[in-house]
Amino acid sequence: MGSGDHAPEGIPASGAWPIHLEDVIVRYPNGVVGLRGVSLSIAAGEMVSVVGLSGSGKSTMIRTINGLVPATSGTVRVGPYTVNELGGRRLRQVRGGIGMIFQGFNLADRASIYHNVLVGRFSHTPTWKTLLGVASHTDREIVMRALDSVGMLEKVWGRAGALSGGQKQRVAIARALSQEPEVMLADEPVASLDPPTAHSVMSDLKRVNTERGLTVLVNLHLMDLARQYTTRMIGLRAGEVVYDGPASSATDADFEAIYGRPIQSRDTLGQ
């Protein structure tokens, strides 16, 4: 499946995947409802932001796409797969095609940067090989290139914990890129970063979209970043889609409807 079987030779990933959600409901075991019937379609190669306050369900939504959070009902289709029907090995295979980066970077701080990026090769590696600690030459090369592409190659043998926030997020992007994914998910990727670093990480994501042609879905709570870097914006409030349209033309009134309150200064990054 996917592009993993082909050597990467400067060509954008084989084909980006579209994403379809149909009436997706997520109810957590503790009774909290994360999503109440979300339906939407994202075309292959789109760059979409999901905007909403914390608790609006955007984290939940992005996690239903790679099955980290199982949908209680409804259908989640990514590329040729119906994620909500898969489990075990097949689910891991799909996840291999979906890169993800996180607000807290989710790196193993005590492990080297090399090993952290090698995590991206999991779905292409048999478990016993990982267990023995042998990485194939191809995997090693992919890791190095991914690190090179985010400008972190010279740190490859250092510990992830020694990096700054912006550097950590770049390593996390390299980890996702080394999966050679068809889709890139980002859950509040810049919420823990200072404004200049936030912009550089956002432009990295933008380039993942334009240069590799991946479908990119990025959760944001800041309206100016959504307007600047994405073409389409989906607004979530209390687990429901309340806005879906072009990001650049979204008005302040649209944002107030998404947030459910007047706009405040902390809703923009500034600069």
Partner 1 sequence: MIVVVLIAITVITTLPALGGVHIDLGAIARNWANGSERIAKLFHPDPSILPRTWKPLLETLEMAVVGAALSALLALPLSLWAARPSNPTRSRAGVRAVLNVVRAVPDLVYATILVAMVGVGALPGVITLVLFDLGIVVKLVSEAIDSADASYMEAGHAAGGTQTQINRLTALPQTWPVYASQVLYSLELNVRVSSILGLVGAGGLGRLIDEVRGFYRYGALSMIILEILVVVIAIEVASNYLRKRLR
Partner 2 sequence: MTTATLSLSATRAAAPVKPRRLGVRAAKLTVGLVVLAAVLHLDIGWSDLAELPADLRHYLDLMFAHPDWSRLPAAFYQTWVSVSMAWVGAVLGVVASTILGIPAAQGVAPLWVRLPLRGLFAVLRAVPEVIIAIILLTVTGLTPFTGALALAVGGIGTHGKWTYETIEAVPAGTAEAVRAAGGNVLEVARWGLWPAAAPELMSLALYRFEINVRTSAILGLIGVGGVGDMLTGYTQYRQWDSVGVLIIVVIAVTMTIDAISGAIRRRIMRGARARDLDRTV
Q: Would you tell me which residues interact with partner 1 (CB under 8 A)?
A: 66, 68, 91-100, 102, 104, 106-112, 115-116, 118-120, 122-123, 125, 127, 130-131, 133, 172, 175-176, 179, 185
Taking alpha carbons only, the member of 103, 87, 49, 57 closest to residue 247 is 49
Cβ proximity to partner 1, 118 vs 217, nearer residue:
118
Stretch that binds partner 2, among 39-47, 207-215, 216-224, 254-262 (CB under 8 A): 207-215
133 lines the binding site for partner 2 (CB under 8 A): no
Nearest-approach distance from CB 117 to partner 1, in angstroms? 10
Q: Is 146 one of the binding residues for partner 2 (CB under 8 A)?
A: yes
Q: Around 221, how many Cα atoms within 13 Å sit in the side-chain half-sphere?
A: 20
User: How many chain residues interact with partner 2 (CB under 8 A)?
Assistant: 26
Q: Which residues contact 127 (CB under 8 A, 6 or more apart)?
A: none
Residues 6 or more apart in contact with residue 237 via CB below 8 angstroms:
52, 53, 56, 257, 258, 259, 260
Give the CA distances from residue 231 to residues 34, 64, 133, 137, 154, in Å, rounded to whole numbers and listed in that order.
Answer: 25, 22, 42, 38, 34
Residue in 139, 188, 204, 267 binding partner 2, rule: CB under 8 A: 204
Q: Which does 150 bind (CB under 5 to 8 A by kind): partner 1, partner 2, none?
A: partner 2
Q: Does 145 bind partner 2 (CB under 8 A)?
A: yes
Asked if residue 180 binds partner 2 (CB under 8 A), the reply is: yes
Among 194, 211, 244, 252, interactor with partner 2 by CB under 8 A: 211
What's phi and psi for 14, nearest 5 deg? -45, -60
Q: Which CB sits closer to partner 1, 117 or 258?
A: 117
**Is 16 a binder of partner 2 (CB under 8 A)?**
no
Q: Which residues contact 3 (CB under 8 A, 6 or more apart)?
A: 13, 14, 180, 182
Candidates 43-51, 92-100, 140-148, 234-242; binding stretch for partner 2 (CB under 8 A): 140-148
Q: Please check whether residue 116 is in contact with residue 107, taking contact to mean a CB–CB distance below 8 angstroms.
A: yes
CB of 8 to partner 1, least distance (A): 17
Nearer to partner 1, 123 or 230 (CB): 123
Tell the smallest beta-carbon distance from residue 184 to partner 2 (Å).
10
Determine which helix (DSSP H) or strand (DSSP E) holds 205, and give its type and residue range.
helix 195-212
Give yes or no for a contact between 155 and 167, defined as CB atoms under 8 angstroms apart. Answer: yes
As a whole number of angstroms, the distance between CA 183 and CA 99 comes to 6
